Copies of this chain bind each other. A is one copy, B any other.
């Protein structure tokens, strides 16, 4: 399933880094930040922003924000501008609400009586509406509809600030966590440190690690980012725990506090990160996403076996699930489609009639591989149902005798209020009348989905086996018991919704 076509989107990714050792650093902080943004680009292509600090007293902050991909938002002169940073945070944004686009772009920097802070935020505050009222009642004007501005003003507001007080941002962050339980993964930069904060339910991912020096002449450093994607210079250390505040500075990583959840509540990490958003080489809860997807494919083969000749998938995101299905079922894995890599980039609008050819124009059929055969086509999800139909037609025109659709996740039926952009209930194929005969509707021989139970077990199986091996993590109270947010599939939200 293509991101663009599905209408599903994550709201943002965050990345931060701090150079270790002597400052001015030999680590190119601005370059590391843009590399981090690029690695998170699939979580937001609409705008991007970087703020660096030189870490001095008072600190000099430098910011650059731009629309579009990181590559166009950060031309060479922007990097030049940012070159004095010894630490920094950045943000890539998926969608924009509110009046002025660039204005909503993060990180936010505000000046307070205790100096400037910069904030980058991934997630969505479940009680945002009530918090806005509260802040405005205090006489604060809010210039955007962004939760991140709201967070920043909340940090400035409580407890009351006096000029003579020492800045105590940790107390302010803890206070914030009592005012709003989920969902956020947050970076707060103040002078020479970055605070990495994950909400008590751990709904959004956040992890930390080390930057290895490129050569003996260079500095090392620390990073924090939404999801880990491997780079030669980045080494994974661990996830930030639900409710944890971690301080990253030139002196290293320090866990400052873990704010607890209400008694009895489980963590609620977003299960859709596994299914859909994350890059296959990302690591959550100790396991690689590719492996989880492969397990989903195996589970699907158990739940929904098919009498067919070959297994394949729509390139490229469903490949691990298809390989898992093939391994479990014993059917051979083949390729059925090749992708024209240039079509996606084109803005040429063929007229209405040619547009009917739609999605399929992106793909060429590898006819010889499947002509005369019954094909199992594995996809990772079906959101709207409008892209799979022309692909099935393409395969049948090219000689497939049957096309069976197997979906490696359950149908999405409910909205997300914690940071994922999901099409309206009406647009979701699972809520449409035609879902009753989905196979007929899209022209498939049969359609079957993975069950919620199947998905949860495929995800949690790996964590269980890990926890047996790993003594240290099982001692840690917060992560001992396992739980995931499946609200978009089941309608069960981890906290009560306030309106």
Write the nearest CB–CB distance from A179 to chain B, whole angstroms.
14
Contacts of A335 in B (CB 8 A): 290, 319-320, 323
A254-262, A337-345, A407-415, A491-499 - the one binding chain B: A337-345
| A171 interfacial by beta-carbon distance below 8 Å | no
Interface centre among A75, A149, A218, A232 (most CB of B within 10 A): A232
| Contact-residue bracket for chain A | 35 or more
Convert A355-372 into 0s and 1s, putting 1 for each residue whose CB lies closer than 8 angstroms to a CB of B: 011001100111111000
Q: Which residue of B has the minimal Cβ distance to A462?
A: B368
Convert A167-193 into 0s and 1s, putting 1 for each residue whose CB lies closer than 8 angstroms to a CB of B: 000000000000000000000000000
User: Contacts A290-B335, A338-B281, A346-B70 hold; do A109 and B368 have CB atoms under 8 A apart?
Assistant: no
A151-159, A244-252, A298-306, A430-438 - the one binding chain B: A151-159
| A93 interfacial by beta-carbon distance below 8 Å | no
Q: Are the C-beta atoms of B143 and A160 separated by less than 8 Å? A: no
- Specify which of B142, B290, B351 is in contact with A111 (CB 8 Å cutoff): B142
- Specify which of B61, B162, B231, B353 is in contact with A99 (CB 8 Å cutoff): B61
User: Contacts A153-B141, A340-B229 hold; do A62 and B319 have CB atoms under 8 A apart?
Assistant: no
User: Contacts A42-B342, A111-B143, A350-B31 hold; do A367 and B102 have CB atoms under 8 A apart?
Assistant: no
| A113 interfacial by beta-carbon distance below 8 Å | yes
Write the nearest CB–CB distance from A195 to chain B, whole angstroms.
16
Q: Are the C-beta atoms of B143 and A157 separated by less than 8 Å? A: no
Write the nearest CB–CB distance from A470 to chain B, whole angstroms.
15
Given the complex of chains A and B, what is the CA–CA distance between A218 and B353 in angstroms? 9
| A137 interfacial by beta-carbon distance below 8 Å | yes
Q: Are the C-beta atoms of A70 and B357 separated by less than 8 Å? A: no
Contacts of A132 in B (CB 8 A): 111
| A269 interfacial by beta-carbon distance below 8 Å | no
A33-41, A378-386, A440-448, A480-488 - the one binding chain B: A33-41
User: Contacts A69-B345, A99-B62, A218-B353 hold; do A368 and B338 have CB atoms under 8 A apart?
Assistant: no
Q: Are the C-beta atoms of B110 and A141 separated by less than 8 Å? A: yes
Contacts of A61 in B (CB 8 A): 99
Convert A60-88 into 0s and 1s, putting 1 for each residue whose CB lies closer than 8 angstroms to a CB of B: 01111100011100111001000000000
Given the complex of chains A and B, what is the CA–CA distance between A398 and B139 in angstroms? 49
Q: Are the C-beta atoms of A28 and B215 separated by less than 8 Å? A: no
Given the complex of chains A and B, what is the CA–CA distance between A247 and B42 in angstroms? 47
| A471 interfacial by beta-carbon distance below 8 Å | no
Write the nearest CB–CB distance from A369 to chain B, whole angstroms.
7
| A279 interfacial by beta-carbon distance below 8 Å | yes
| A230 interfacial by beta-carbon distance below 8 Å | yes
User: Contacts A100-B63, A100-B64 hold; do A346 and B71 have CB atoms under 8 A apart?
Assistant: yes
| A469 interfacial by beta-carbon distance below 8 Å | no
Contacts of A137 in B (CB 8 A): 113, 161-163
Write the nearest CB–CB distance from A459 to chain B, whole angstroms.
15
Q: Are the C-beta atoms of B156 and A351 separated by less than 8 Å? A: no
Q: Are the C-beta atoms of A280 and B364 separated by less than 8 Å? A: yes
Q: Are the C-beta atoms of A100 and B65 separated by less than 8 Å? A: yes
- Specify which of B112, B291, B368 is in contact with A141 (CB 8 Å cutoff): B112
Q: Which residue of B has the minimal Cβ distance to A229?
A: B364
Within 8 A of B (CB), among A213-231: 214-215, 218, 229-231
Contacts of A334 in B (CB 8 A): 323
Contacts of A74 in B (CB 8 A): 348
- Specify which of B158, B280, B350, B356 is in contact with A139 (CB 8 Å cutoff): B158
Known: A42-B342, A288-B367. 17 other contacts (CB 8 A): A63-B100, A70-B348, A71-B346, A74-B348, A103-B103, A110-B142, A136-B161, A138-B138, A140-B153, A229-B364, A230-B367, A231-B361, A232-B390, A232-B397, A279-B338, A281-B367, A290-B338
Closest 8 CB pairs of A and B: A110-B141, A281-B364, A41-B342, A71-B346, A141-B156, A139-B157, A113-B136, A230-B364
A–B pairs, 5, beta carbons within 8 Å: A65-B100, A71-B342, A76-B349, A108-B143, A279-B338
